[in-house]
Chains A and B, each alone.
Chain A
Amino acid sequence: MNELLVQFGIESRELVAEASDGLLQLERSPQDAECLDRVFRAFHTLKGGAGIVEFAAMERAVHAAEELLSEARTGRRKISTALVEGCLAGLDQVGQWLDALESSGALSEDANDRAEALISRLAAIDGFDKKPTTGIRAAKPWVAALRARHSSRGDAITAIRYAPGADCFYQGEDPVARIGTLPLLSAQELAPLNPWPSLSELDPYSCNLVLMALTAAPVDSVRAHMQGHSGECEIVDLTSASSTVAADGSIFPRARAVLQSQLTLLMEGAPKQFQGRVSSAGLTASNVLRSMRRDDDAQTVRHATDASLTAKSSEPLRRSLERLLAPDAPMPASPAAPPGPETASRTLRVDAQRIDALVRLTGELTTAKNALIHTTAQAQIEGLGLAAGLTGLAAVFERLIGELQQSVLALRVLPLRTVLQRFPRLVRDLSSTLGKPVTLYIKGDHTEADKAIVEMLFEPLLHTLRNSIDHGVEEPSVRVERGKPVVASIQIRAARQDDRVVIEVEDDGAGVDVERVRRVAVDRHIATEEELQAMDDAQVIDLLFAPGFSTVATVTELSGRGVGLDAVRTAIERIGGDVSIASRPRHGTCVSFSLPFSVMMTQVMTVEAGGQRFAIPVEALVEILRVPRAAVSGVGSAQVLVHRERTIPIIDLAGELDGTREPSPDAEEFIVALAAVAGEFIALRVDRVGERMEIILKPLEGLLEGMRGITGTALLGDGRVLLVLDLKEMLS
């Protein structure tokens, strides 16, 4: 796939996410004009992108949705649930097309049919708001206020309200001078468009001004003066009773003349020149419109030209031009300027593979540094003269590489927003499918974590949310009986706690039915009656994570997709995380995820056994003990250690990992590393305890892949390979 398509795919996905986000917000607060603008811009850019890569079907479909939004912006249409759903359906379709694009490099074959289906669905959406149509013609309140403030200026016949685009200064524009040089200016005012930020946050080059003026010049000459402006401009004729508003981008006289002449051209001429005439008229008209930054209209004209050519009739193009020339044609406002160049220049989109390459290189460098430190130590032992200098140098390397590593890892950091922002939409759909109204609150979505962590979180969190809505949240009638609000709430809270990222998903539903979990655990032979009797509620709830557990009698389409909570736990644990459930009967359930901030660095303690070095993850290590022979007792072939009134099984590391080696000879004293895994203790008998170090853990590959008891490897400074123990597997 070529570079352009790749970029198109990336950008389109971002735009789809942004637009869905905005649509959901819009559904909650339909009056939020800023949000509507954002959604409109996203659709507009999406359409533009599709046009560039020539995906006509997608372009048409997105255009249809954009039209609706544009009508909503001008107040001619209400933001209704149908509108939001129609636009969301459009985004879903775009998402599917992007999937197809990624896998095959082209839109699916039925793209045209799908686009048409979507367009007719969107066209069927009612909700035109009749009132504001008249509102456009009614005198604007700003006009009345402006005239009142300058009542002495009786000679004014035209009022102007001009909000330049935020980036107009970059385009060399001076809006104040432009208004100040209006012919026959009689009054001028300046006001901030949005309230001023604090001075320290003011961006002097982002225009935040609204300019208003009264002039004795006629509307036409004012329009000519304002030609080519950026942003939005309203010009009101004070002499006409109806005070018609020339919305932004109204057609200027010269352009009007050109369009008019194309229309005349279409009406006459010999039939045999039909094709050439329609194409050139259409092209000229669309170019004129584009020169006025009226891309939408230019596109409409282009489509009309195509339609004319296919139908062999000038009718569609003629009608389209006539519509544009109609005196009261409702003109969609041109999209506001994209976010300032400031944001654009401060971020850089880099291919994730390049970052990964950088991470790998830094890893290699760390290994080289460890080798240097090792060599330096050798030099010191051998008393070489250079040792002191080398030691200093090694320390410098250590510090610099440490910094480099941190910077590189920071490149892979993403805010959790990237994954969390998909959930409002999904929860909305789930909630309507199940008929359980739910509001999702997200807190702390700015919390950052390594890309690998953020990206793998989607499935587990989705599963948790599904469970919450399906099993946790009660039916609305039950909620009413229990005196709870009918609309359930689910909160996702994310926060950084030291080097962990903690995410909690809490609902205000019924909580976990512990008795039922007990029953099911027995039925499915997950635990025996006796085992269950010894368990407290928390331990019973933890059984939900046991493989093969599902408390629903009939597997619903929603939660039962063959993946249980055990899959969630496995996925989370694979990246060094942990997941647990806390429940309060009738009050709700809280699922907590605790994840490492980064998957890269692992703190380990090295130990030696049978001449081989191993590493134990420090997070599992409890303490290193010297145990007298007497404290160890044999139970059958196994040995146990009684320590602080606990009986702990001893695993002889040398024997365990290499069956051919004889277990370490009995000695007066044992050295054991005491570790805790999932609340259970094991004691690893070792020959020697090494040092604590930070390693970049590499998963086992190739021949070693299936090796039990080893989770991964790391390269040591002296070139040897360090095997990192998987204590969990050793325990099972």
Chain B
Amino acid sequence: MTVRTPEAELIVLEGTCPSEEAEMLLQRLLATPEAVVDLRRCESLHAAVIQVLLAAKPSLQLPPTDTALGTWLRALLLPPVTD
């Protein structure tokens, strides 16, 4: 299991997050809407998981900007900036 809830208002996603984890993430976010989602130890996220994050718009802790995943997730999950 790569979705963990170490604290009441914190959901940690670690390693590879396959599509099966979308449901689990959704359930946790429904139970704790204010929860912060920590993606810092994530290696990859399936589109279904990303879809839940997009729909729920929780506060995120993203991997650093100098990593490929960090840049990629920022581009996907943070609203595009219009010039």
Contact = CB atoms under 8 A, between A and B. Distances in A.
Given A149-B83, A187-B75, A169 B55 contact: no
Query: Closest 4 CB pairs between A and B?
Result: A176-B47, A204-B22, A196-B55, A190-B76
Interface string A181-205: 0000001111010001101101011
Nearest to B23: A204
Contacts of B19: 169, 174, 205
A261 interface: no
Interface string A158-192: 00000010000100011111001000000111101
Interface in B54-72: 54-56, 72
B80 to A, nearest CB: 5
Chain B interface main SS type = helix
A149 B81 CA distance: 7
A205 B75 contact: no
A204 B54 contact: no
A370 interface: no
A188 B76 CA distance: 7
A491 B64 CA distance: 61
A151 interface: yes
B80 A169 contact: no
Contact of B72 (A188, A192, A202): A188
Contacts of A175: 47
A357 interface: no
Contacts of B75: 187-189
B27 to A, nearest CB: 9
Interface in A6-51: none
B73 to A, nearest CB: 10
B52 interface: yes
19 contacts: A149-B81, A149-B82, A169-B19, A174-B19, A174-B46, A176-B46, A176-B47, A176-B50, A188-B75, A189-B76, A199-B29, A199-B55, A199-B56, A200-B30, A202-B55, A205-B19, A207-B48, A209-B51, A209-B54
A202 B47 contact: no
B26 interface: yes
Interface of A: 148-149, 151, 164, 169, 173-177, 180, 187-190, 192, 196-197, 199-200, 202, 204-205, 207-209
Nearest to A188: B75
A634 B33 CA distance: 80
A172 B40 CA distance: 25
Given A192-B55, A199-B26, A207-B48, 8 more contacts: A164-B47, A169-B22, A169-B47, A169-B48, A190-B50, A190-B77, A199-B56, A204-B48
Contacts of B51: 204, 207-209
Contacts of A208: 51, 55
A103 B80 CA distance: 61
A345 B45 CA distance: 28
A580 to B, nearest CB: 49
Nearest to B75: A188
Interface in B13-39: 19, 22-23, 25-26, 29-30, 33
Interface residues of B, number: 27
Nearest to B22: A204
A164 B81 CA distance: 24
A174 B47 contact: yes
Given A169-B19, A187-B75, A199-B55, A205 B30 contact: no
B25 to A, nearest CB: 8
A176 B19 CA distance: 12
A196 B19 CA distance: 19
A468 B5 CA distance: 64
A686 B30 CA distance: 65
A192 B54 contact: yes
A202 B83 CA distance: 32
B23 to A, nearest CB: 5
Contacts of A149: 80-83
A342 to B, nearest CB: 12
Contacts of A174: 19, 46-47
Contacts of A204: 22-23, 25-26, 48, 51-52
A202 B80 contact: no
A149 B83 CA distance: 6
Contacts of A188: 72, 75-76
Nearest to A208: B51
Nearest to B49: A204
Nearest to B18: A174
A199 B55 CA distance: 7
A148 B19 CA distance: 32
Nearest to B52: A204
A188 B73 CA distance: 10
Contacts of B55: 192, 196-197, 199, 202, 208
A202 B54 contact: no
B83 A207 contact: no
Contact of B52 (A164, A187, A190, A202): A202
B2 to A, nearest CB: 15
Contact of B83 (A148, A164, A199, A205): A148
A189 B30 contact: no
Contact of B80 (A189, A197, A209): A189
Nearest to B33: A199
A209 B53 CA distance: 12
Contact of A176 (B33, B56, B76): B76
B48 A205 contact: yes
Nearest to A179: B47
Contacts of A173: 47
Nearest to A209: B51
Contact of A180 (B56, B72, B82): B72
Most buried by B among A151, A187, A207, A209: A209
Most buried by B among A175, A192, A204: A204
B28 to A, nearest CB: 11
